[in-house]
Structure 1
Amino acid sequence: MLSLLAVSLLILTANADVIDEDVNFSKVEDHFAVSNPAEKSEMIMEDLFIKYPTLKPATDKEIIEVKKSFMEFLDMNHVKQREIITGHPSQHKELSHVLKEFSKLATKEFDKLTDEEREFLGKVTDYVIHKLTVQEVLKVYKKKEEEGFRNGWIAEEIHKLSMLHGASLANSWGLDPEEITQEWTAMQGLQHNEL
């Protein structure tokens, strides 16, 4: 009978490619633990350009513009972020210059990308959208929590309002509303446990 270690090694070997991809992708996830918006922007973009050299803008000026746009978005006030996330027509400049730039550059260089590269690019973009949406819902929850308790609302009412807002944002991005609300609820629970 194989030992537990031997079985584990067989599983790891059989899934080496998947594990390797997960490890590489986790580097992008780790960027959201960085508190400085400029660092987040820089690290995410650098990962993207290292993974896909063909997607890197042709000039240093264009690279700076893309990084600056994402940094500005992460550093924006809540109202402006919300306008961009919910697709306000006058606010597409910053976020679309990041997320839609991915798509634009990928379209230009589409034939040069392998299937794996196309899939990875999609994952990076989806991840950024997903995390920004969750972060946005958490901000709204905190704001509603402050307002609600001042106005005599109960926690259940605040929770319901936040969930509805989260579902609305998720739908606007084509994400699974249940997944988004579950994630921010879990994050909110962790924050409360830390207090």
Structure 2
Amino acid sequence: MDHTLIVAGIGPGGREYILPKALSAIENAHYLVGGKRALHDYAGEGQETYPVTGKLSLLAEWLEEKLTIGDVVVMVSGDPGFYSLLPWLKKRFPESPLQVIPGISSVQAAFCLINEPWQGTKWLSFHGRVPEERDTAYEKGKKLAFLTDYEHNPAYIAGYLIKQGWPKETKAAACEHISYENQHISESSLEDMVSLEGFGESVMVVIG
């Protein structure tokens, strides 16, 4: 299997946020993989595409077949190095040549939207998982950033952190649909965020 598996980060999703190198790889791809929104936004005429769903075994079969014919570009949201398909792809195709093109993480973009620096922040995820309690324990001055899901949304996380001892007045922000026309930002205290509705797949920032 000599053809290259190219993993391209598309950033938060909006075209103005994607790196030129990633966009070039996507536009020149013959075989292109991505979420339905990404394929809608970036796939071009003549490209053979495969939408990412929860059935990774079927994706693996498709990739295995196409990699015997040519290079394949896999689009991942945000940056490939932060909770993307990259670990699964490396494990599933260990012998395939690999190229990874970075993207702007949604966490980076969220901090920019609220005009805050992110250095020193612990990046975590509640998207399909729950972080270790030691990682979310309260410390004065501590910064946390979370990827969320519909079960563990910002309202849930705010209540979770308050139960862990975070002061109710702690500053928090939730950002969804970053870089799209329906982008939405909510900034408040943890206490107020407990009542926030929606923001299922979003980025939550907490500044202690």
TM-score (norm 1): 0.25
The structure with the largest strand share of the pair is 2
Over alpha carbons, which structure has the higher Rg?
A: 1
Normalising by the residue count of structure 2, what TM-score does the alignment of the two structures yield? 0.24
